[in-house]
Chains A and B, each alone.
Chain A
């Protein structure tokens, strides 16, 4: 009995050793020569293979970085500037700082604001519903709420709020990898600069219908009233197709436009109530000044008109 056990142990050990030797030689013989910097770069990358950089995975990105030598057009949104700095150190090139981005949800049409006009009974997928018809609410531009975006998020940075039926971005987790932006058939999600002190301001609506129609479809739709447009002193707001849009590059985060919106659909992130109030006061001040200026001009015009034309 004991000899049997000994034979078994010896033979198994022998097989193990032979296999190990074979594997060792094979791996040596058939080793693929690769630029060692590629694996160095790869080791500092997040290795989530999310595709946010536009490459199929972290390895492909590492290859691209090493081959390019110049980092101006390559950026890992997940790792951000700190990782890119380390990559630059490895390659001995200048790191290029990029502003961090975050995804924002550009629809506020919650269940409460946007009444259903039909019952959708197909597969629970935004893409399939969008392929079938304009959606189960009146608004053809709004979020469909099946959470295709949540399904593709690799970072657990999204969830569907059950009360509103809209996706919510978890600020700390979102890496701006662009996966949800690509997935959304209605283009509700958009990458937005994270902003100074993480402050952001944007219009959460994409409805391009005329004002009255848009409001019929959704209680908080942008009607294109242009009030915010008029209040902006930095030319950051544009009105295209009955829809206001804030250009994040021009926006100075003065928060003066926020209070002008009838339906409170200019959304802010990480802005204190004090700052909002300050913005309102500023706006009122500017409006007051503008009104006075107009009155003065009017008066001046009247006076010049009143002067009897004397030849």
Chain B
């Protein structure tokens, strides 16, 4: 590590314990499950339209639900087998959504998919073809938000993009999926970056990585010596640096305006996981049917990183990591700061599931709530420079117009305020509620 202090974002931020337990466990492919359950809403936007029926035989990589409109995504079968029941099931969002179950039989792939490990460096497709291929392959943002990638690549008229940022920050404690991917597939990721640069027509790309992943930074530094347009930047560890807006500020010192998009300041951000998926889609014709999932937690027997087929029930992934420990109190899909707790173990792994975190019983309950002591720690922590304590009060009272004036919509729900609050106040609970109600108010 170099001696000078690394860059980081300037407003707010917190330092939760990193707990990267599985940082040195290589990615291993998970054994095929007996059955997968593939929800048709794994992305932001309209649900996909189902085009298979019960009893149909499908191959891995075959489209089973097509995108409805532009902001939507194709869904592919992640296994070969027979389509089973199509019904509403509980998914990792905590609500019921329609899902297609597929009984696994063998592992037969669609013919034009290249499953070999050979690296294809030359990007043959034109920018338009690249976007079309990404759309066809159902690639969505794999950092958690699951925003369809082809939408991000279609920069609106009149906006000039000069930088591509690749998000290798992985600021969530415990998670190591992106870290392992960067260590094991750096060459593929670099080709992915080139594909994205070609699609966007930019000549500068920065890979931002927090300095707790020194091995990944070193690998990229060595590989990028011969790549003039792409650089790697080490960043000081601080949560939530993986937030698009924070990362842009940390790397380029530009601030995305309130309610705006990164493209407003000439930047497009993609996650490393997404970049790898884009490499696979464009160079190897592999649609997004599997992803790296970290299984971790203090009492997990073997904290691991698995290559998991989309739709695999969480329980199968957990069993591969040594089973569910006796003292498990809470299971979180995603990281501890922004992940969603799941209520049952049959929930399928979706495109946005970056990890499964097991929290022991003694840590799973919230502590006693005290009155607000006006310490101001939530304000210090808020990466958007908001006043979370005030937003809590306004949301609780239902004073939506004032909450809007206080920019409640700017909240990125990173959870830093609730994390630091010494009174254990449920600040984010109420802010989230206030945001939902404000949005509801706007609609009718």
Question: Does B365 interact with chain A (Cβ within 8 Å)?
Answer: yes
In the bound complex, CA of A128 to CA of B436 (Å): 10
- Taking A128-B429, A131-B432 as known contacts, 11 extra A-B pairs with beta carbons closer than 8 A to each other, sorted by chain A number, are A121-B365, A122-B426, A122-B429, A125-B429, A125-B433, A131-B436, A133-B93, A133-B94, A136-B343, A140-B95, A140-B96
Provide the A116-138 mask, 1 if CB < 8 A to any CB of B, else 0. Answer: 01100111010110011110100
B94 touches A123 (CB 8 A): no
- Closest-by-CB residue of B relative to A134 is B95
**Contact, CB under 8 Å: A133 / B344:** no
A132 touches B94 (CB 8 A): yes
Cβ of B269: which chain A residues have Cβ within 8 Å of it? none
8 Å CB contact of A121 from B90, B95, B340, B366: B366
Residues of chain A within 8 A of B365, CB atoms compared? 121
Interchain CB contact under 8 A, B426 and A123? yes
Interface residues, chain A, with chain B CB atoms under 8 Å away = 117-118, 121-123, 125, 127-128, 131-134, 136, 140
> Restricting to B425-442, which residues have a CB under 8 Å from any CB of A?
426, 429-430, 432-433, 436-437
- In the assembled complex, 5 residue pairs joining A and B whose CB atoms fall closer than 8 Å, in A order, are A118-B343, A128-B426, A132-B94, A134-B90, A136-B343
Q: At the interface, yes or no: B401 with Cβ under 8 Å from chain A?
A: no
Bound-complex Cα distance A131 to B426 (A): 14
Contact A127 B433 (CB under 8 A): yes
Q: How far is the CB of B444 from chain A (nearest CB, A)?
A: 13
Q: Is B399's beta carbon under 8 Å from chain A? A: no
A128 engages B430 (CB within 8 Å): yes
With the chains together, A125 CA to B366 CA distance in Å? 15
Quote the shortest CB–CB distance from B369 to chain A (angstroms).
9
Q: How many residues of B contact A (CB 8 A)?
A: 18
Chain B proximity of A187: nearest CB distance (Å): 13
Report how far A128 CA is from B434 CA in the complex, Å: 10
3 closest A-B pairs by beta carbon, nearest first, are A133-B94, A118-B343, A123-B426
Chain A hits for B433, CB < 8 A: 125, 127-128, 131
With A and B bound together, what is the CA distance between A118 and B330 in angstroms? 10
Interface centre among B429, B430, B432 (most CB of A within 10 A): B429
Chain A contacts for B426, CB-based, 8 A: 122-123, 128
A243 to chain B, nearest CB (A): 15
Chain B min CB distance to A62 (Å): 24
Q: Is the CB of A117 within 8 A of B343?
A: yes
Prevailing SS type, chain A contact patch: loop
Shortest Cβ distance from A132 into B: residue: B94
CB distance from A131 to the nearest CB of B (A): 5
B53-93 interface (Cβ within 8 A of A): 90, 93
Nearest A residue to B365 by beta-carbon distance?
A121
Cα distance A131–B438 in the bound complex, in angstroms: 13
B364 in the interface (beta carbon within 8 A): yes
Contact call A123/B429, Cβ cutoff below 8 A: yes
Closest to A183 in B: B398
Report chain B residues within 8 Å CB of A121.
364-366
Residues of chain B with a CB closer than 8 A to A131's CB: 432-433, 436
How distant is B401 from chain A, measured CB to nearest CB, in Å?
A: 13
Contact B96 A134 (CB under 8 A): yes
Give chain B nearest CB distance to A233 CB in angstroms.
35
Contact B364 A134 (CB under 8 A): no
Residue of B nearest to A209 (CB): B88
Q: Which residue of A lies closest to B437 (CB)?
A: A127
**How far, in angstroms, from A259 to B417 measured CA to CA in the complex?**
54
Within 8 A of A (CB), among B194-240: none
Bound: A131/B433 CA distance, A: 7
The residues of A that contact B436 with a CB separation of less than 8 Å are 131
Assess the A134–B94 pair: CB atoms within 8 A. yes
A134 to B94, CA, bound (A): 6
Q: Report the minimal beta-carbon distance from A172 to chain B, rounded to whole angstroms.
A: 28
Minimum CB–CB distance for A185 against chain B, Å = 10
A131-B436, A133-B94, A140-B95 as given contacts; A123 in contact with B343, CB under 8 Å: no
Chain B, Cβ-Cβ closest to A122? B429
Interface centre among B93, B94, B344, B437 (most CB of A within 10 A): B94
Closest residue to B343 on the A side, CB-wise? Answer: A118
CB distance from B178 to the nearest CB of A (A): 26
Q: Which residues of B contact A133 (CB under 8 A)?
A: 93-95, 340, 343
Minimum distance in angstroms from B37 CB to a CB of chain A? 16
How far, in Å, is B411 (CB) from chain A's closest CB? 14
Contact: B364 with A118, CB < 8 Å?
no
How far apart sit A117 and B90, CA to CA, in the bound complex (Å)?
Answer: 12
The CA-CA distance from A132 to B95 in the complex, in Å, is: 9
CB contacts (< 8 Å) of B343 on chain A: these are 117-118, 133, 136
